[in-house]
Structure 1
Amino acid sequence: VNQEHEVIQIETASRRSDTAERAITLEELFKAPPGRPRPIRTVMTKGVAGIGKTLLTHKFTVDWAEDKAQQEVHYTFPLTFRELNVLRGRSFSLVGLVDHFFSGSKEAGICSFQDFLILFILDGLDECRLSLDFLSTQTLTDVSESTSVEVLLVNLIRGELLPSARLWITTEPAAANQIPPECVDMVTEVRGFTDPQKEEYFRRRSTDEEQVSRIMSHIRTCRSLHIMCHIPLFCWITATVLEDMLKSREKRELPKTLTQIYSHYVVLQNKVKMVKFDRGAATDPHWSPQSREMMESLGKLAFEQLQKGKLIFYESDLTECGMDLRAASVCSGVFTQVFREESSLYQDKVFTFTHLSLQEFLAALHVHQTFISSKVSLLEHKPQKKKTSKNLLHCGVEPDFNLLHQSAVDEALQSPNGHLDLFLRFLLGLSLPTNQRLLQGLLTQTGSDSQTIQRTVEYIKEKLGESLSTERSINLFHCLNELNDRSLLEEIQQSMRSGCLSRQRLSPAQWSALVFILLSSQEHLDVFDLKSFSPSEEAFVKLLPVIKAAKKADSCGLSERSCADLSSVLSSQSSSVKHLDLSNNDLQDSGVELLCEGLKSPHCKLDYLRLSSCDLSERSCAALSSVLRSQSSSVKHLDLSNNNLQDSGVKLLCEGLKSPHCKLDSLRSVGSHVPSILSCSSSPHFLSGCVNTDVGGASLASDLSSNSSSVRELDLSYNHPGDSAVKLLSQRLHTLR
């Protein structure tokens, strides 16, 4: 189950630089990598809403039709789950299903699918409302046998029905686990715009160089906007708002938060409706009763369907929310850039918001307005209570927004997949008088005062002091930004500038603020050195999210207790650590054994490990040897210098060096101490000072001389391997000291 809201996933991906990943072209989509024994049949492409997955499938189909990509494919059949959902309860054969969508396929003579190489594109798995049961669905192999659409899809994806076909499935990350991993041969991801591509996008929209420069400069200074601009559609929303504001004669401050951007956007779309459809003037009152009623209906639909996790709406969904098809069609006709009716091959109408974030914004608007008008918190599904608590203050008959906001914070923190994270940012942002003025005429102003907002800020800071996941903490800092409060971050930034951070006793909330700042800094994520902050075990534990995101990490003041946490970091799929230096820490053998569990994980990306002077013995060598033998291990450079490994330890290491899976390129063992993963010396080494007799040297010589050994560099400084061993080693190694 995915534990992050899509926006947080984008933020995480923007920090990640994994050399194991590579960009691929559409032409390479089904090309098997070197060494793969069988061809790629099924590709899954993941990506957050609005990132361009569907557009990519359209481009692929056009390129294929124009003989620019996948020319070996005879027929391509692009299908969407939105359309397949409509067929729930009906029976088809695979041949019949294709003919239903692509009439004339039978007449074209393609009934016998086995005679052709066919590609099925299944777009939008996250929108699937069919029950795909991969465990108990009956097997089907005949393309002409009729059954339910669900059974057809399951057998097609499992490869039992038409195994010669290729499949391309697109999905948002949270829904990817609906398909068993064994049914997917390759996973790709659409990452959206890089920073240069963002600038290119804005430059293509306008020939006004000054305007483009102002927009780019503004986005760079607003982190939440900069992150969201990875999504092409958000770039469009942002550009629409900023270009309109910059061409206005009014000198207004450009929006810095998501709530401000979306408030401006909704107002702008209403102006377009007023001029285009109501035949009014841009100077007319912004919100007519009809427009306000439409927005209220859309807000109700947005919130109720967001609670159910639904992002596309059929007639039954509209009916549940008190909206009929005609009203929905009218809304999509006049607010075309907010709510739209999807084109479909059927009479069944399908509706959706132009982007998930717009649904979240209108949902927050609905909850805010409902609380003002009826004093009902839709998050609690009951009227506001009269009873007060130490955190909740009630002012006469006025609705207490602290009650609503604190309830919303709690709901968002309890969400297993973060689906309310962006909704929460918008809801809090709407409490600011500045944003309420932007929506004047649509939103009833509440007279929210600075004390109310400050109480919400303090509640969020209390929550930041609790044990939260990194993703939830990050979102709460973005919430504080929506409330125009950066005090916690400014405290830490001042301490960092003054150089006194390592001497301060930080509160839990301040630790969270430090993590947020460091995760936003590319400098610290290139090389993270714990000594710069606080060389202690407490600091190490608090800053684990930063260590996980860093490419190189240097830690000190640690003991064996830290190794379990570090092992979990290394085995995490989202870890970026490639170089780790744990030298001069009292890890002991028990700590290294814990560490090795993470090193054997298939997700571990560690390339260079330094364990010098870590009080290690032959016991650690047994654990490290098992790592070297592991097929998933990526360690190429190992420094165990200044540890008391003894000849017996070296013999154990040699068992790992002989393994065909061992990827070790250089080994240092001077003086018998163990190294870790961060700082790399100019050349990597392994056993310097750890081999005290010719017994260990002979073992090394024998094992490293075997054809299976990958070691190319060996440091045996301050050891006595013996003349015969040196001769053998000289023949095998490129560098010998």
Structure 2
Amino acid sequence: RNEHRDRSTLYLYAHLSLPSVGLRERNQHQKTERPSPAQRWQDDDLHPEFTQLLLLHRAHPRGHESLAKGSWHHGTVEKQGHLIEVKDLFGPVPGAQEEPHTVVLLGDAGVGKSTMARWVQRAWEEGLLFTDRFRHVVYVNCRELYRSEATSLSDLIAQGRASPGVPVGHILSQPEHLLLILDDLGEPKWVLEEWRSMGQRQPVRALLDGLLGRRLLPRASLLVTARTTALRKLTSSLQQPRWVEVLGFSESTRKEYFHAYFQNESQAVRAFSLVESNQALLSMCLVPLAAWMACTCLKRQMERGREPELAPRTATALCLHYLSQALPAQPLGAALSPLCSLAAQGIWRGKSLFGWGDLRKHGLDPATISTLVKAGVLRKHPCAPSYGFRHLCLQELFAAVCCVLGGPGEQSRRPDGVAGTESLLEAYGNPDLFGAPTTRFLFGLLSKQGERDLASVFTARLREARRRELLRWAEAQVRSQPPTLQPGSLQLLRCVYEVQDEGFLTQAMAHFRGARLCAQTGLELLASAFCVKFCCQVERLQLNEGGRRGQARVTRVPSLRLSWAPVTDAGWRVLFSTLRATGNLKELDLSGNCLSPSAVQSLCEALKAPSCRLETVRLVGCGLTSGCCRALASTLGAGPLLTELDLQQNELGDDGVRLLCAGLRHPACALSLLWLDQSRLSEEVVRLLSALEQEKPHLLISTRCPHQKAQVGPLCLPSPALLDDLHAAPLGTEDDFWGPLGPVATTVVDKERSLYRVHLPAAGSYQWPNTGLRFVVRGPATIDIEFCAWNQHLPRTAPQHSWVVAGPLFDIKAEPGAVAAVSLPHFVDLYQLTLDFKHAH
């Protein structure tokens, strides 16, 4: 895998002891220096394998459009953003007017932000990244920095510099060549004080605010990592940042991670196969922390000679399962209660490192602490004698347990003094309440599974009265939100998803009406599709509004329009797994989305499920072929409630329609309306359809008139007569390739020649929807595409009257061996024509 190192991409180590990456120090004598915010946790269980993370550049953070400052240009980057590489963080990217001085890496808990920040410093030290731009790199862990009440800028630089031999004064004299990494910025309560000179000590938060606001070192570059819940407090301090969202693993790198974690190949295959059988867990494992927990649990079971199993369907259940495996066989019982109290007070005070005084105050003795360290729940910091949770998510889980188990009377007797659920969650602020992991865990602990896991792990029973009280509180929090789902509602849906209780979901989601949501990851897609089924006012789910260039179907049925990218077979399996029980949904519209035979098979399996109540399914322009019709026919004959099926603008062929007719004849088929193109069918098959209508009077097989058709297919090109001028037409800002990692932007190399370039970041299949081009590449590849004029080439070899333009002419150049296959578009209507058809490329 050494060839990947030269591409300056981000890699995540497999046996992940988050929040650290456990990098080997270049200079061994650094380990003897006094502890600092840059000093890393000690890790002994790291594996030398790694996997790549996805980085999405956005014009502004998702769900925070209202925070955008007037100087930002929202139209320069599409809403879904563009995937970029680590080397491009501070460089030019599509849609950006200039290179940034501040880059903010944001994302959910456990997605790999801190791992990336530390990797950037290491890559720079090894000469792999940013060496031509930065002469000095300083790394600061902000949560550890908060332990100090005050510090000076000089001390901050001295403790975090990568090269301890370089004088601080020399670094500060060249701010334009300095990269300052502020990792895990958290949610500080900013203190807007006047900053002092570089050598004077001042409050830590005031110092950070001066750096972010460019009052300190205005010419230095900043790389900031923060959770999405920190953005409202963070944005006011930032000056024109570049927003980059860390999405976690792609589908391919998720699988690579499992193979990297298990040294035994058969164990890796066995583990991943087990996770694949649980679509909810598979989606969660796109988050590196969740993948690490899943691998750790499965490996422990294998090492103990047990048959591996992993059934969690929510983040809360996965974390509790991890704890049940990590903690000793003899339950700690009451010893965990003080740990919950400690965690809750830490969340309330923004504290993640605890000294002996904190531990003693909460009743934690040395023996219990030692046990928790061995179990991997706590770990000792190099700055002895401080301890922290293995990952901040574990602290937030224990804090949620504290909220759930303690009634008002019990809470007042706890040593942390936290006065209840509402008081604890005030630490996050109301606007970001649902984005806080503690809130998500609290919802999950209120599920029936959470109640059982609490009794198993914490040997504590959740009183039914307390559970009902918290469920009423949770329902009130959800119902207090606007009835129209907003882009920021995805975090709310992820919290509601954790409960997994039909009664609660029906009550909590009752007031929501249709809206538009954009799911960027499989986990967001899972939560959205699961929760919308319980919206009694939403009967229709539409994906991607009929295709990127299509026209949305006009309907008065209350709908949720869900945008989602990238659309992959694995994503389809996630979506269709949730639709095995559809709740209030009556209609599913997937028009304009390309469905592979595998995706169609997954859809049909969902439609056959007893709890699937869909009545209408629209698959207009989905690229269906005769190979998909056998599965569709078996669905029609399985006796579902399906009454309307729209299959227009698909090349089903005679053979495919014959298969459909067999399914329509089945006595259990309830279909009453089938939309089907008949213009390209043989007379024999058209007569077969007509006979079928007579045989089943309730069945109507219809085709919309041409002027009524909504062309929602993925390809929208001008008529052949205009294709000679196509080489001169601009492609517009929407013209991205779509591949396994999401949208990939094209760049204009020469506008006059209509020459475009695209860098495909990984192996896989990529489609250019606006042209019909598709490439299959063996690895990262750069491809140049030029639009040419047919009249400059074809007349040399054939008389002009003997040919018809059926598509654009391309001049395509790529590195030798990089492209495995190319699919070129053809657009010829041979209806009612009798001729020998030949095509030239």
* TM-score using structure 2 length: 0.46
Cα distance, 1:550–1:153 mapped onto 2, change above 3 Å: closer
Shift in CA distance, 21/370, structure 1 to aligned 2, threshold 3 Å: closer
What is the rounded CA distance, in whole Å, between the counterparts of 1:138 and 1:527 in structure 2?
52
CA deviations on 1:43-87 (whole Å, 9 max, x unpaired) are: 221122222222222222122112111113221111121243233
User: Equivalent residue for 2:498?
Assistant: 479
Is it true that 1:429 corresponds to 2:490 in the alignment?
no
Aligned 8 A contact 1:206 1:212 in 2: yes
Comparing both structures, which one devotes a greater share of its residues to strand? Answer: 2
Gap change, CA 1:382 and 1:104, over 3 Å in 2? closer
* Distance in 1 of aligned mates of 2:501 and 2:96: 49
2:748 corresponding residue in structure 1: none
Query: Where does 1:190-269 land on structure 2 (aligned, <5 Å)?
Result: 190-206=246-262, 208-209=264-265, 211-246=267-302, 254-258=310-314, 259-269=316-326
From the superposition, tell whether residues 195 and 132 of structure 1 become closer, same or farther in structure 2 (CA, over 3 Å). Answer: farther
Is the contact made by 2:210 and 2:216 (CA closer than 8 Å) also made in structure 1? yes
- Retained in 2: the 8 A contact 1:299–1:363? yes
**Alignment: residue pair count:** 486
Tell me which residue corresponds to 1:302: 343
- The structure 2 residue matched to 1:292, chosen from 292, 309, 333, is 333
How far is 1:199 from its partner?
1.0
Is the contact made by 1:51 and 1:231 (CA closer than 8 Å) also made in structure 2?
A: yes
CA contact (8 A) 1:237 1:265 kept: yes
2:178 alignment partner in structure 1? 118
Question: What secondary structure sits across from 1:110 in the alignment?
Answer: helix
2-side partners of 1:311 and 1:226: how far apart? 32
Q: In 2 relative to 1, CA 124–447 (structure 1 residues): closer, same or farther, beyond 3 Å?
A: closer
Q: State the distance in 1 between where 2:477 and 2:89 align.
A: 48
1:75 pairs with 130, 136, 139, which one? 136
Instruction: Determine which of 53, 67, 74 is the counterpart of 2:113.
Output: 53
* Distance change (3 Å), C-alpha of 1:538 and 1:295: same
Q: Distance in 1 between matches of 2:96 and 2:62?
A: 31
- Tell me if the contact between 1:526 and 1:550 (Cα under 8 Å) persists in the aligned partners: no
Partner-residue secondary structure (3-state), 2:535: helix
Deviation, structure 1 residue 350:
5.0
Distance 1:110 1:62, change over 3 A: same
Task: Tell me by how many angstroms 1:193 deviates.
Answer: 1.0
- Give the distance between the partners of 1:4 and 1:361, measured in 2 at CA: 25
Measured at CA, do residues 52 and 447 of structure 1 come closer, stay the same or move farther in structure 2, by a change above 3 Å?
Answer: closer
Q: Aligned residue for 2:377?
A: 338
C-alpha distance in 1, partners of 2:298/2:503?
20
1: distance between equivalents of 2:355 and 2:208? 24
Aligned to 2:85: 25
How far the C-alpha of 1:415 sits from its partner, in A, is: 7.2
- 1:99 equivalent in alignment to 2:117: no
Read off the aligned partner of 1:428 and give its amino acid letter.
L
Report the CA distance shift for 1:436/1:523 in structure 2 as closer, same or farther (over 3 A).
farther
- Aligned equivalents of 2:82, 2:501: Cα separation in 1: 36
Shift of the alpha carbon at 1:117? 1.7
Q: Is the Cα–Cα contact under 8 Å of residues 209 and 237 in structure 2 kept in the other structure? A: no
- Judged with a 3 Å threshold, the aligned counterparts in structure 2 of structure 1 residues 123 and 303 are, in CA distance, closer, same or farther, namely same
The one-letter code sitting in structure 1 at the alignment partner of 2:154 is: V
Match of residue 633 from structure 1: none
- For the structure 1 residues 473 and 38, does the alpha-carbon distance in structure 2 shift closer, same or farther, using more than 3 Å as the test? closer
Aligned to 2:717: 683
Partner amino acid for 2:260?
Answer: R
Counterpart Cα distance in 1 of 2:409 and 2:537: 40
Residue type of the alignment partner of 2:158: D
Within the candidate set 203, 214, 226, 1:159 is matched to 214
Residue 422 of structure 1: how far off its partner (Å) = 1.9
Give the match's secondary structure for 2:111: coil
Report the equivalent of 2:358: 318
Contact 1:192–1:232 (Cα < 8 Å) also in 2:
yes
Structure 2 equivalent of residue 174 of structure 1: 229
Q: Match of 2:102? A: 42
The residue aligned with 1:189 is 245
Cα offsets for 1:517-568 (capped at 9, x unmatched): 958x89988899976xxx64242xx42xx2455899xxxxxxxxxxxxxxxx
- The code of the aligned residue for 2:377 comes to V
* Deviations 1:472-499 (CA, angstroms, capped at 9, x unpaired): 66346523437899999xxxxxxxxxxx
The CA distance in 2 between the partners of 1:223 and 1:264, in whole Å, is 17
| Matching residue within 443, 447, 463 for 2:459 | 443
Matches of 2:493 and 2:146, distance apart in 1: 36
Q: In structure 2, what is the Cα distance between the partners aligned to 1:426 and 1:377?
A: 25
Unaligned 5+ runs, structure 2: 1-59, 65-76, 508-530, 568-589, 594-706, 720-750, 755-769, 771-807, 809-841
Q: 1:293 to 1:106 in 2, by over 3 A?
A: same
How well do the aligned residues superpose, as a CA RMSD in angstroms?
5.8
User: Post-superposition shift, 1:127?
Assistant: 5.4
Superposition map of 1:371-410 within 5 A: none
Encode CA deviations 1:123-170: one digit per residue, 9 max, x unaligned: 1111546x343xxx5477x65676554454333333343333222111
**Mapped partners of 2:171, 2:286: distance in 1:** 43
- SS of 2:139's equivalent in the other structure is strand
Query: Taking structure 1 as reference, are residues 84 and 486 closer, same or farther at Cα in structure 2, changes over 3 Å only?
Result: closer
Are the equivalent residues in 2 in contact too, given 1:429–1:435 (CA < 8 A)?
Answer: no
How much has 1:229 moved relative to structure 2? Answer: 1.4
Contact persistence 2:340–2:399 (CA under 8 A): yes
Take 1:70 and 1:195, find their aligned partners in 2: how far apart are those partners?
A: 28
Instruction: Note if contact 2:143-2:351 (Cα within 8 Å) is conserved in structure 1.
Output: no
* Partners of 1:300 and 1:363 within 8 A in 2: yes
Q: Which amino acid aligns with 1:48?
A: D
Task: Check the 8 A contact 2:551/2:711 in 1, yes or no.
Answer: no
Tell whether 2:148 aligns with 1:87. yes
Alignment partner for residue 63 of structure 1, among 120, 123, 138? 123
**Structure 1: which 5+ residue stretches go unaligned?**
6-16, 272-284, 384-403, 489-507, 553-576, 581-672, 686-706, 714-733
Is residue 2:395 matched to residue 1:359? yes
Q: State the match for 1:572 in structure 2.
A: none
Task: Say if 1:99 and 1:105, in contact at 8 Å, map to a contact too.
Answer: no
More helix by share: 1
Q: CA deviation at 1:235?
A: 1.0
Q: How far apart, in 2, do the equivalents of 1:230 and 1:264 lie?
A: 18
